[in-house]
Structure 1
Amino acid sequence: MPLPSLKQQFSQLIALPSVSCTQPEWDQSNLPVVEQLAQWFGEFGFACELQEIEPGKFNLLATLGQGPGGLILAGHTDTVPFDSGRWSLDPLKLLERDDRWYGLGVCDMKGFFPLIIEALKELPLDKLQQPLMILATCDEESSMSGARALAKLGRPLPRKAVIGEPTGLRPVRLHKGILMEQINITGQSGHSSDPSLGHSAMEAMHAVIGRLLDLRGQWQKRWQNPLFGVPVPTLNLGCIHGGDNPNRICAQCALEFDLRPLPGMASDELRAQIRAQLTDVAAEHQVQIDYGPLFPGVPAFEELADSPLVQLAERLTGHSAESAAFATEAPYLKALGCQTIVLGPGDIACAHQPDEYLDLARIEPTVQLLRGLIDECCLRPAEPQPQGSADA
């Protein structure tokens, strides 16, 4: 069966809803999307493997060729939820208007896969010297469970990885991580006329917030990276809930906050420092404090500036590698030993927004860029590695 045109591929993928969300009423399977991609890449001779991560959620690994080096072109198959009432068009139908294609996922980031297919059409794939892998993951927009599962599996992968998240065709070699945490304090209620009758969870939380802000100040003095627009780690106190009446000593108080560490800051160490402060506050205020993540978190990511893949991407795009403010699946591929960058045609400013779009002017440059990456990484023999070296 002949492959659909590029526009038809975009249209078919957009029409297959694959929302991932922490709210069960929104969450959907991505199986129809990965099955469609497997069919298309199978037409080129790729060996396609579907990995079930959890019920209804799948990764696709499509591999062509073999050898020690090679390239992964990676992306996620899910989208964020959408409010159709805020769109000026049907989010699940591709629309061409104003030299753009509109639809949920055209930018972030189902549209990356048809562009890969378009690039493959003009390449001598029977002459691959190193393997080419297409990785399509699930649940990037909610839990990153697909990338986490791949990292946990630990299987050998090609040496270089390009993730097609929206970067405006400018290579990104580092981004901050993100932790979302929750603190729950349980005190003892009592009549407010006599403070000795209880232990205020709200007063304890006041102390906790002071400790968190002190930690933030310490981290921002120690850790700075001028490559980021906000060059220090941030900690945001997002929401707080506690108490039930002015004349009762507060027995329950909960705080949710996020922390965005710079590359080099270890999540486990940050959490250990927070936990030590909470232990002190709990003893001082005679309350119980429970602390844990709202989700596992995403590590910070950095690929070195002198990495061969970074230098290749800079040469092919004509842009120096940058940082990004958003988190991606890059740290999980990096943990598997892949040189990794983030590089895709969309604009992050229109991602997660009504009327998401991809400029048509980006299509041909992206196709040529992908052909250049595949040519350099897969159609040429692997360069010998010095004994004992590793691309980690």
Structure 2
Amino acid sequence: MSQSIEILSKLVSFDTVSRNSNLDLVDWVVAYLADLGVECQTFKSPCGTKANMLATIGPDVPGGVVLSGHTDVVPVDDQIWATDPFELTQKGTRLYGRGSCDMKGFDAICLAKVPEMLKANLKTPIHLAFSYDEEVGLLGAIELAPRLAEILPDVKAILVGEPTEMKVVEQHKGFMYLKAVFEGIEAHSSMPYLGVSSNVAATKFMSALVAMDEEFAASKDNNSPFLPPHSTINIAVISGGTAGNIIPNKSVVDVSIRVMPEEDVNAIVGRITAEMDSIRSWMQDQDPACNAILDLDADTYGLRKEPDGQAATLCRRYSGDNSDNVVSYGTDGGVFQKAGFSVAICGPGSIDQAHKPDEFIEISQIEA
């Protein structure tokens, strides 16, 4: 078994679903690198149960490259797996396990290559930066990006190893997650004039979002490499009401929005906020005790194509991929680019396998 597979097996064994701590995994990585003579810095999350990690191999000089991975994984709840998701299992040419593809496979490769990095007498450094909570709003990267800008000498590029089948990605959409809560007044359904339906308010809100989504589709750029070539709105989860004969007093709508990199995110948020203000006024005209609350749970930056593209140029030099690629999912890359770094996305595995039961990565991509 290769070193990268051995390390991947260990990383997969840590249940680092985003709701859990990643500290046991981080402690293991710190100890592994310490045995090689590499010191790490760890930065605790505000809650103290998670941490980002940074290690440098090579001299403390400008011009280094950051290899960026995340340590958290998505849940396996209600998924039917043929194997234990937290035990790396080989079947033929594939390695199965939660995070094997997204993205502990990349983390394992980076760690397995450290001995070679140490022997290479590097002229410029390689930095390993592993974050927490990428899957729930890029929270670790948001904390880590300004630290990297502050404590590292000028960095040439950040390479984010999300699964792209080693294709170089220079653009991706941004992501917003919204929660809209509508608080109405309960009443018997035979006397609707005594109540204010939270479900009606939620329906007004969703109708406005559908109209906005259709507007996005109508203004699509047919020359865009994105599929679909426009921003999208997904009304993801709806809850409200208790019984057929009760005017509902609380409704909740969860919404996810994928935003084109060049789209004005603030303008979209402004339009949605204005719609909520209008619905709140409509509800309170009927009863001042009503309310409509909008919570922006996560807001991640899109990744824009860079004019000079130092990170993309570097990725192409070593991957051999010269194609022009974009993805519609989000990564830590947008956060790092916003902080002033040159960023490209390139890593082993296919996003087609991510977040699914029986997630896997091909052995050939781990050992390449």
**Is this contact kept in 1: 2:175–2:298, CA < 8 A?**
no
| TM-score normalised according to structure 2 size | 0.86
- What is residue 179 of structure 1 aligned with on the other side? 176
Measure the CA separation in 1 of the matches of 2:87 and 2:107.
17
Does 342-351 or 123-132 show the bigger shift?
123-132
Distance change >3 Å, CA 221–CA 36, structure 1 → 2: same
Contact kept, 8 Å, 1:305 with 1:311, in 2: the verdict is no
CA distance in structure 2 between the aligned counterparts of 1:177 and 1:194, rounded to whole angstroms: 45
Deviations 1:78-106 (A, max 9, x none): 22222598222233333332122222322
Give 1:191 shift. Answer: 4.7
Q: Which residue of 2 aligns with 1:235?
A: 233
**Distance in 2, Cα, partners of 1:231 & 1:219:** 9
Partners of 1:274 and 1:89 in 2: CA distance: 43
Task: State the partner residue of 2:310.
Answer: 308
* Aligned residues between the structures: 355
TM-score (ref. length: structure 1)? 0.81
Once the 2 structures are TM-superposed, how far is the Cα of residue 11 of structure 1 from its aligned partner? 2.3
Q: Distance in 2 between matches of 1:214 and 1:84?
A: 33
Q: Which residue of 1 aligns with 2:280?
A: 282
Percent identity of paired positions between Structure 1 and Structure 2: 28
Q: Are 2:136 and 2:298, in contact at CA under 8 Å, matched by a contact in 1?
A: no
Q: Cα distance 1:199–1:122, how it changes in 2: closer, same or farther (>3 A)?
A: closer
Q: 1:195 to 1:350 in 2, by over 3 A?
A: closer
Q: Do structure 1's residue 148 and structure 2's residue 142 form an aligned pair?
A: yes
The answer (yes or no) to whether the contact 1:84–1:91 under 8 Å persists in 2 is no
1:52, CA displacement in angstroms? 1.2
Aligned match of 2:5: 7
Q: What secondary structure, in the 3-state scheme, does the structure 2 residue paired with 1:207 have?
A: helix
Aligned to 2:205: 208
Sort the Cα spacing of 1:162 and 1:190 in 2 relative to 1 into closer, same or farther, 3 A.
Answer: same
Structure 1 unaligned runs (5+)?
22-26, 366-392
Residue of structure 2 in register with 1:71 after alignment:
65
Contact preservation (8 Å) 2:105, 2:348: no
Structure 2 CA distance, aligned partners of 1:329 and 1:81? 19
Deviation at 1:139, TM superposition (A): 1.9
Write the mapping of 1:211-360 to structure 2, written as runs, cut at 5 A: 211-222=208-219, 224=221, 226-285=224-283, 286=285, 287-293=290-296, 295-304=297-306, 306-316=308-318, 317-360=320-363
Alpha-carbon distance in structure 2 between the residues aligned to 1:95 and 1:251: 49
Show the counterpart of 2:41.
49
Offset at residue 262 of structure 1 (A): 0.8
Q: Provide the alpha-carbon RMSD of the alignment.
A: 2.6
- Decide whether the 8 Å contact of 2:236 with 2:256 is kept in 1: yes
Classify 1:52/1:282 alpha carbon distance in 2 versus 1 (closer, same or farther; 3 Å): closer
Q: Deviations over 1:62-119 (max 9, x none)?
A: 0132222210001011222225982222333333321222223222222223312443
Measured against aligned partners, the alpha-carbon deviations of 1:199-223 in whole angstroms (never above 9, x if no partner) come to 3333333322222223333344456
Give the SS at the match of 1:302.
coil
Report the AA paired with residue 280 of structure 1: S
Separation in structure 1 between the aligned mates of residue 250 and residue 49 of structure 2, nearest angstrom: 37
Are residues 282 and 323 of structure 1, via their aligned partners in 2, closer, same or farther at CA, if it must alter by over 3 Å? same
1:208 match: secondary structure: helix
